[in-house]
A and B are shown apart, each in its own frame.
Chain A
Amino acid sequence: MFTGNYSISLDSNIKEFTIQDTSDYTSEPKAGFSGRRIVLTLSGGATLVPAGTTTSYIDWPFSAGDSLTLDVLDRDYAISVKVDWFVIAPQPGSTYEKVALYAFTGNSENFYYGLTSQQASDPNIITDNEYFSNKSKLRTNIDDANQAVLVGEDIQSAQAALDNAYYLMINQNYFF
């Protein structure tokens, strides 16, 4: 019995993430599959693909290996990641699809860490109430996004929190 599975890891490059096929192909070898496909769906229903991709999905042929790095995070998104395994002769009891939600917060975390680095050389800035309050809001929004996905499986709330964080970042001259 085959159960399609994958994991996602973050890179030091915050614009990317890596998806790893962790399926056990013992019962159904890769030769019995015709391909794999990744669909990244945003909270509003739109799909996300790397630049230059003409389809709304990402082909992931077995010839490309079991690890694929995707450069799609121009900003932070809550994403429904779906992988389909296309099998030539489906077997009863096997699962050829996996869908999971992820909140990608690397851009926000990177900006947030930049503020901390700045504080290391200017520690007194944390005593500025406005600065502290806005940085606290940013932290709360990042945490909200993660909690919404991990606890609530709520992509809408996660994206709303990331949008709030994004607003603080693109208007950093006013808030920090």
Chain B
Amino acid sequence: MSELIPISNIIKYAKICQYLSAYDNQKKEALKGSTITPNLPRILYMERKAVEWKYEINPSDPSLEAAGNYLYSLCGKFLSQAKQISGSGGGGQIIINPGSGLPINFIPNRLQFTVATGSSYMEPGDTSYLIPDLKLIASTLIISSDGLILGVGLSDRLSYTFTQTPLGFLITFNIPVNQDQLIIIDWISGQSSGSGTVESDKFKVVNTYADAEVFYNNLVAQGATDIWTILVISDTENMGGKKGAYKYVPGFTTSLSQIALNFND
């Protein structure tokens, strides 16, 4: 699954980013500090007005895609928050899960890493990366490379597509990554975008189990059918034969042997 961001959404985000950047500048200057982007609110206004005008008179104009992508890239670090504000109805609105009646929290996430040989994230020549978050809201995903925000599904420059898998969101770049390339991935968790159903944000079970079998049987006894993320702190060698912290790769499992296999360090 991949998506192109509609120009109307980019215009909406740019309007929000304009005041977010203005507020950010004021915060930085309040204590006689400084900002390296004093003109950003004005630039966002100026470029948004241009795109907005063209979109109003001819929404199918072929030049709008490039201009829209340019405007989108200008939003920079404020995009994630702008998407959050626009997506939650203007800020501060609490979304209720109609199934459980419980409020949902939207959790902003940021992952930053440098491509390097031996890296646990991406090595030179890799073209994909799995975000192990099944509750990632697809429309909030922003990926940048060396400070440049990437477009989706483009062929004439570095871009990416993404696919939901049982283990998370698989990001696939159209060009292999290089040594020392800085990758920053922003997204918001809170809702399962694949099925369209609303999941509660997170749950926490704190308990002590003697080994993986007891742990698994206990989960089954509690009626668990789906496991998202489990962090196990083990001081014995019963968890796959290793001590320390174990992270369970999210996904559905049906057997003890599978849950044991899915543990890794």
Contacts and interface: CB of A to CB of B under 8 A. Distances in A.
Contacts of B227: none
Nearest to B58: A12
Dominant SS among interface residues on chain A: helix
Contacts of A115: 50
Interface in A114-156: 115-117, 119-121, 123, 126, 132, 135-136, 139
Interface in A16-75: none
A4 B50 CA distance: 34
B57 A117 contact: no
Interface in B50-95: 50-51, 53-54, 57-58, 63, 66-67, 69-71, 73
A139 B70 contact: no
Contact of A120 (B43, B57, B67): B67
Given A117-B66, A120-B69, A139 B46 contact: yes
A132 B43 CA distance: 9
A18 B194 CA distance: 46
B50 A136 contact: no
A139 B45 CA distance: 10
Contact of A112 (B39, B50, B63, B70): B50
Given A11-B57, A136-B46, A116 B51 contact: yes
Given A113-B50, A113-B53, A116-B50, A136 B42 contact: yes
B49 interface: yes
A97 interface: no
A100 interface: no
15 contacts: A12-B57, A14-B57, A112-B53, A113-B54, A113-B67, A115-B50, A116-B46, A116-B47, A116-B70, A116-B71, A117-B66, A119-B70, A120-B70, A123-B73, A132-B39
